[in-house]
Structure 1
Amino acid sequence: MRLVHIATLSAVAGVTVAKPRPHVHRHAHGVAQRAAQPDKVVYAPVTIETVVKYVLDGHDISVDDVRSGLANGTLEWGPDGNLSVSAKAPAALATSTPAPASPSQTAKPEPKGQPSEVKPKPEDKPKELAPDPAPKPSNSDQPSQVDTTPHTADQLVDGNGHCASCDKEFPNGKIPCSQFPYGYGALPINQEGLGGWSGIQDPQYRGGDGFDDITTTVSGSCKDGSCCKPGCYCSYGCPNPYLKLSFPKKQGRTGQTVGGLFCNDQGMLEMADGSIGKTMCGPGSSSMTVKVQNKLKKSVSICRTDYPGTESMTFPLTVGPGETGFLASPNQSKYFFWNGGATSAHYYVNKQGVSEAEGCTWGKEGEARGNWAPAIFGTSFDDRNSHMGYSSLKQNELNRAVPLDYSITFTGDGINSACSYKKSTDQYCEGGNCWRVKDQPDRGCTAATKSGGTLTLILHDD
């Protein structure tokens, strides 16, 4: 005979993307009360009853039969901790097959007798009646074992551009919002001072026509990450060449974007309802590869925008002298759409020697870093029409007066109309056609990459 615990629920609640475009950045300071989400699922706590049942040879028996059997010797404790028919007994304990219980009967507790109330005769010396050990939680009950050690982008991605931890499915509702979800490929953005988050957004207006009055937590205001609270979208970085996959279906009604994991009403993290995968990060297009090779004497930090999200240029790729790194390039049909149009990955290209912490965050006019970096690079793969990759380079329209202090040349097999920037003449070129920035400050160059091709940006001196 075995003892069975049954938990029953008594209540349940139920584009043209080749040319990089400037993003409008809106910052709302402070924290305000969030409005209700009329179209969100409300999770209500449930009441749980515990039902104790005694089973012998597959049939239920009453607590009185258990007591009687222990008292008269017809039942005894086996070496495995279960009750069984005593070998010394003259006959087996008679049992009857109970009628199937209706749903309403199943929810009712069994007779009030509890295991601790069983008091056998002293001479029988049975073991203390106790419930079976609680079953170990399954993988669906708790996150699988992951390495929660913080890693840099170089540690997350191998030499082939693969991020093993990025392949791990995110465990919705298992990680508290106050804890950055290490171990699932996400890259902590420490320079933002938000506990690893790249941005935290809390829309005050959540109507059917979109979000508005979006409060964005000020950088540096909660280094422990405690600002990621119920109702907020907590954004995160993904190491190149991977892209963020979690963002809500609903976006800003006046063009703002929102992205990241959602902190639900129980204070637990989950993938947002518009997510395009079950993992936090996913690889860019498999139809083209984009690399950066540094032939300079100093490191260069190239910073991708948190998009959709705060649109801050916080996702870093830093390549040291002699190093090569990857950049993410999305498929146009499979990534985020803005106002019905496909989007590209958007990067700010800093001067050499500008650190990652200084270059991959908001800058100030005159500093020539961050959103004021001299150049902008954009890339995506058109998997809908031309089946070509498109990558562009141009002067940052916020900073037309400050040029890069090195040259950039696009190289690779299957590249048409390769782009370049020449530091010595301050010229951008597309194929053999060149122009000076001072003459055409808003003009950029665009190169096409055939499917299966690799585009490499060579950073070099003239």
Structure 2
Amino acid sequence: MKASIVNLAVAASVATSAAAQPHRHAHQHLHKKHADSPVEKREVETTYVAATVTQYVLGDKSVSPEEASAGLDRGLYVVVGETTPTFTPPPAPAATTSSSSKDDGVFLQLSTSASSSSVVPATSTYSVAAASSSSSSSYSTGATGIDADFPDGEIKCSQFPSDYGAVALDYLGYGGYSGIQITPKFSLGDSVIDYIETYVSTMIFGSSGFYSYACPEGYVKSQWPSAQGATGQSIGGLYCNSDGYLELTRGDVTKKLCEKGVEGITINNKMSDVTSFCRTDYPGTENMVIPLGIDGGSTRQLANVESANYYVWEGKKTTLQYYVNKAGVSAEEGCQWVCANDPDGCGDKAPIVVGAGKSADGITYLSIFPNSAVSSAKLDYNIDISGDITSECYYHVGEGFAVSDAGCTTGLSDGGSAVITLSKA
């Protein structure tokens, strides 16, 4: 069955104090089920984070937060992607009353079982429900050949390219890939992609389109086409050509599938329980399925990017967003759109989002903020950022966030290091 995509208009959220918080992964595209701004150079001493008002849009019609929430809870809407994760940097200490607006809209899409009279031609998607959870499968924590050049056009699309650094996410059910966007009307050289079929539960290997993938801890995907979705969708991964073979999409920049992220940020889990940080697959299907599981008592590296040298969406620099699950939720359980064990409190509805991105002036901005657009869940442990940071930023159970209820942002100078510590209250 097919579902038609309605108009993806841009909605703005209004920052009500000195600065706006970083986006969720920013514009959320919600489907009804049938189923950069550039980072400015400035001195950073104190962080102010504003509350934002999120606008929900179905086609060109605004939908109240209550209606959107009810639709999500009843299974009428599902989120299939978002765009433009960006940071607005913290203001200088003297700033007290200025305000700015940000694109932070949530977009709804009609289902195949609902009436769909408002349709953008030549854009469609398949099976918008997320793949079911699998308790028996697992994902690997590393891959061989991370520094090997990918053999352009020589490997079949059905053969997951783990020998070249990509990490198979078998539990998602996409043959190891993190997501697949079929584009049968696309030809190399096209400037935009105006027909996209997003496969999320039925695997048809060999169909022409873009096959996205995860990378090992501390690495990020390095392949995406210059052509992007005509209505703002992000597209990422290797290209499966009409002969059924995988091609590089940024071969003129790099022939490797993964690149090392900016180092300096680690996660220290002081709890006995496992938990998971789930990164948005961006550019790509934009689902938060890129896993980072943190066992109790372990330390892991958080991938970060230099925004000026990474994926650019409609001329805007982008950052990385991680959905933070509750204690006891493994990466395999939590790093998929619908979390079977706690559908209202993990996966896309994880309680908290952590954002990271390095600006052109060398400052990394780290943020902790609530996933309030779609979730009312509460995190059951503390998060503290420490190290070479410019200001206090934390979430504490029973207390909330440093600075304001909307979250907090801190800066990390070039060459510095920061630790995100997880601990029981």
For 1:196, give the aligned amino acid. Answer: G
Count, aligned residues: 301
C-alpha separation between the residues in 1 aligned to 2:141 and 2:261?
Answer: 17
Deviation at 1:397, TM superposition (A): 2.2
- From 327, 337, 353, the equivalent of 1:362 is 337
Q: Conserved in 1, the CA contact under 8 Å of 2:345 and 2:375? A: no
Q: Label 1:418 to 1:228 Cα distance change in 2 as closer, same or farther (>3 A).
A: farther
The alignment partner of 1:278 has SS state of coil
Tell me the equivalent position of 2:157: 177
Tell me the equivalent position of 1:218: 200
Deviation at 1:366, TM superposition (A): 4.8
- From 283, 299, 306, the equivalent of 1:308 is 283
For 1:181, give the aligned amino acid. Answer: P
Deviation at 1:408, TM superposition (A): 0.1
Q: Deviations over 1:240-284 (max 9, x none)?
A: 210101111000111100111111222111111477421000011
Q: Label 1:316 to 1:195 Cα distance change in 2 as closer, same or farther (>3 A).
A: same
The alignment partner of 1:313 has SS state of coil
Deviation at 1:355, TM superposition (A): 2.2
Q: Conserved in 2, the CA contact under 8 Å of 1:19 and 1:391? A: no
Deviation at 1:367, TM superposition (A): 2.4
For 1:428, give the aligned amino acid. Answer: F
Matched, 1:389 2:371: no
Deviation at 1:17, TM superposition (A): 11
Q: Deviations over 1:278-297 (max 9, x none)?
A: 10000112xx4111110112
Deviation at 1:304, TM superposition (A): 0.7
Q: Label 1:341 to 1:267 Cα distance change in 2 as closer, same or farther (>3 A).
A: same
C-alpha separation between the residues in 1 aligned to 2:365 and 2:176?
Answer: 32
For 2:414, give the aligned amino acid. Answer: S
- Answer with 240-249 or 397-406: which moved more: 397-406
C-alpha separation between the residues in 1 aligned to 2:299 and 2:320?
Answer: 19
Q: Conserved in 1, the CA contact under 8 Å of 2:208 and 2:240? A: yes
Matched, 1:449 2:412: yes
Q: Conserved in 2, the CA contact under 8 Å of 1:20 and 1:377? A: no
Q: Deviations over 1:70-107 (max 9, x none)?
A: xxxxxxxxxxxxxxxxxxxxxxxxxxxxxxxxxxxxxx
Q: Label 1:415 to 1:273 Cα distance change in 2 as closer, same or farther (>3 A).
A: closer
C-alpha separation between the residues in 2 aligned to 1:303 and 1:275?
Answer: 30
For 1:403, give the aligned amino acid. Answer: K
Tell me the equivalent position of 2:318: 343
1:118-133 correspondence runs (5 A): none
Q: Conserved in 1, the CA contact under 8 Å of 2:357 and 2:365? A: yes
Structure 2 unaligned blocks of 5 or more: 1-18, 32-79, 81-108, 113-121, 123-136
Q: Which is greater in Rg?
A: 1
How big is the alpha-carbon RMSD for the aligned residues of Structure 1 and Structure 2?
Answer: 2.6
- From 401, 410, 415, the equivalent of 1:428 is 401
Q: Label 1:400 to 1:306 Cα distance change in 2 as closer, same or farther (>3 A).
A: closer
For 1:183, give the aligned amino acid. Answer: D
Matched, 1:317 2:320: no
Tell me the equivalent position of 1:167: 147
Tell me the equivalent position of 2:248: 271
Matched, 1:244 2:231: no
C-alpha separation between the residues in 2 aligned to 1:18 and 1:205?
Answer: 38
Matched, 1:190 2:170: yes
The alignment partner of 1:371 has SS state of helix
1:269-308 correspondence runs (5 A): 269-273=246-250, 276-285=253-262, 288-308=263-283
Q: Deviations over 1:21-61 (max 9, x none)?
A: 3343465999xxxx9xxxxxxxxxxxxxxxxxxxxxxxxxx
Q: Conserved in 2, the CA contact under 8 Å of 1:293 and 1:323? A: yes
Tell me the equivalent position of 1:85: none
1:125-164 correspondence runs (5 A): 152-156=139-143
TM-score (norm 2): 0.66
Tell me the equivalent position of 1:24: 28
Q: Conserved in 1, the CA contact under 8 Å of 2:275 and 2:293? A: yes
- From 376, 386, 391, the equivalent of 1:417 is 391
Q: Conserved in 2, the CA contact under 8 Å of 1:347 and 1:377? A: yes
Q: Conserved in 1, the CA contact under 8 Å of 2:218 and 2:302? A: yes
Tell me the equivalent position of 2:16: none
Query: Taking every aligned residue pair, what percent have the same amino acid on both sides?
Result: 37
For 1:218, give the aligned amino acid. Answer: V
The alignment partner of 1:333 has SS state of helix
C-alpha separation between the residues in 1 aligned to 2:140 and 2:333?
Answer: 17
Deviation at 1:183, TM superposition (A): 1.0
Deviation at 1:444, TM superposition (A): 2.4
Q: Deviations over 1:333-377 (max 9, x none)?
A: 110001101111111000011122220001269521111100001
Q: Conserved in 2, the CA contact under 8 Å of 1:247 and 1:275? A: no
C-alpha separation between the residues in 2 aligned to 1:19 and 1:329?
Answer: 15
C-alpha separation between the residues in 2 aligned to 1:216 and 1:291?
Answer: 33
C-alpha separation between the residues in 2 aligned to 1:169 and 1:185?
Answer: 10
**Ranges of 4+ aligned residues in structure 1 off by more than 3 Å:** 25-30, 150-156, 204-209, 273-276
